[in-house]
Amino acid sequence: MTTILPRGKAPTVADVAREAHVSKAQAARALGGYGAVSEEVATRVSHAAAKLGYRPNELARSMNTGRSNTLGVIVGDIENPHFGLALRGISDVARQAGYHVILSNSDEQVAIEQEAVRVMLDKRVDGIIVAPCSSAAADNQHLLQVLADGRALTLFDRAVDSLAAEVISVDFTATAQETTLELLKLGHRRIAYVTSLHCREGYRRPADLGLTPVVQRVAGMERAFQHAGIAFQPELIKTGASDPTAIKRIVSDLFSGRLPPTAVIASDSLIAQALLREFILRGLRIPQDLSFVMYDNFPWTEIVSPPLSVIEQPVYEMGREAARRVIAQIRGDSAGDQPDFTTHFIRRGSVAAVPSTCAE
């Protein structure tokens, strides 16, 4: 006889137990995956649950097992395709391992990131993957709390001072140096780099940028200038490009002087798109008037005119590795050594010799 439920009432463990003709305790153990039940009871309970459309109470299950089979992921800007691609890698691995993903967007603001961590801990996630807004230890007590609560923690893309957490990242120094040397060989001397990172008093030295990939990128640029015996111009490192208005202001600053840059490097694809718009509005042609390079390689970069030169990194694979390693932490397994992630400069039509009218 099938159990008849009142309209609108979700089936409970007791309903499943009646349908399967077992005790409520047996049904709870079979549904919750804890304790011992016979194969026959497990099968009957499974069939009864499917027949009634029973959905487990995940909070109750986590209270019993200590696991929610859920990962929290916090990124700076989900509109940035860099994070979108990383999230795809994280989600693919999580799904295959039986984990759900809760996503939060920090807008690169520490207070929002702190609140996201608090909510995720309240929801009893098993582990958190985060691209931290700040590398300063004073800003990251919330990440220490993740570890104090016994939750797994993996950092993506960026490190944090004095935090004993694994970081999934790639070293850009060599490729940034190679790219800059290529531009220098083409006659460029005024090479600007535009990033969304904030420096309160503007860029002066790499330490101003914290423990981020941007430090490696700028360091690689500086090494290239040193190698070529040419003076590096730190005033062309432009920070705070966090929205179109800020980027418009940066472009105005770069091109209002007597000696504007002859090449510009964009820190990510969102910045690249905003910069290209501003260049078009100013009548600047690429590469006739200005060479252009951006970080990350997406399909659209090959179909615009001219195709954009890019510095490619394995973002999807890094996302997969972040998920694999945080799940290994949760399960108490060894994740082994990290893969050797590498970057590559791909030269396309947006880079050319410096115009003769701009040469120093």
Would residue 351 count as lying in a domain?
no
Same domain, residue pair 239 and 320: no
Same domain, residue pair 148 and 177: no
Contact by Cβ (8 Å): 78, 311:
no
> Once rounded to an integer, what is the mean pLDDT over residues 160-184?
95
Would residue 343 count as lying in a domain?
no
Would residue 182 count as lying in a domain?
yes
> Once rounded to an integer, what is the mean pLDDT over residues 73-98?
95
Nearest in space to 157 (alpha carbons), one of 194, 130, 188: 130
Sign of CA dihedral 207, 318, 128, 195: positive
Q: How does pLDDT run across 202-261, given as a tens digit for each residue?
A: 677 766 777 788 999 999 999 999 999 999 999 999 998 888 999 999 999 999 988 999
The pLDDT value given to residue 35: 67
Q: How does pLDDT run across 279-300, given as a tens digit for each residue?
A: 999 999 999 999 999 999 999 9
Helix (H) or strand (E) holding 253: helix 244-255
Would residue 94 count as lying in a domain?
yes
Give the least confident one: 134-148, 159-173, 189-203, 235-249.
189-203
- In CATH, what number is assigned to the domain containing residue 255? 3.40.50.2300
Same domain, residue pair 306 and 201: yes
Q: Which residues pair with 103 in a beta bridge?
A: 73
Would residue 357 count as lying in a domain?
no
Q: Per-residue pLDDT for 36 more than 80?
A: no
Same domain, residue pair 53 and 105: no
Q: Tell me how far apart the alpha carbons of residues 260 and 168 are, in angstroms, rounded to a whole number.
A: 36
Q: Tell me how far apart the alpha carbons of residues 321 and 157 are, in angstroms, rounded to a whole number.
A: 12
Q: Which residues pair with 312 in a beta bridge?
A: 344
Give the least confident one: 101-115, 189-203, 254-268.
189-203
Would residue 118 count as lying in a domain?
yes
Same domain, residue pair 258 and 236: yes
Would residue 240 count as lying in a domain?
yes
Residue reference for tokens 């309970």:
45
User: How many structural domains compose the chain?
Assistant: 3
Q: Per-residue pLDDT for 34 more than 80?
A: no
Same domain, residue pair 223 and 293: yes
- In CATH, what number is assigned to the domain containing residue 23? 1.10.260.40
- List C-alpha distances in Å: 150 to 147, 246, 262: 5, 40, 51
Q: Tell me how far apart the alpha carbons of residues 129 and 326 are, in angstroms, rounded to a whole number.
A: 7
Q: Per-residue pLDDT for 359 more than 90?
A: no
Same domain, residue pair 88 and 47: no
Same domain, residue pair 239 and 156: no
3-class secondary-structure state, position 263: strand
**What's the maximum distance between 2 C-alpha atoms anywhere in the chain?**
90
Same domain, residue pair 177 and 302: yes
Q: Per-residue pLDDT for 63 more than 60?
A: no
Q: How does pLDDT run across 298-323, given as a tens digit for each residue?
A: 999 999 999 999 999 999 999 999 99
Contact by Cβ (8 Å): 70, 125:
yes
Domain holding 119, by residue range, is 66-169+315-331
Amino acid at 155: L
The pLDDT value given to residue 255: 95
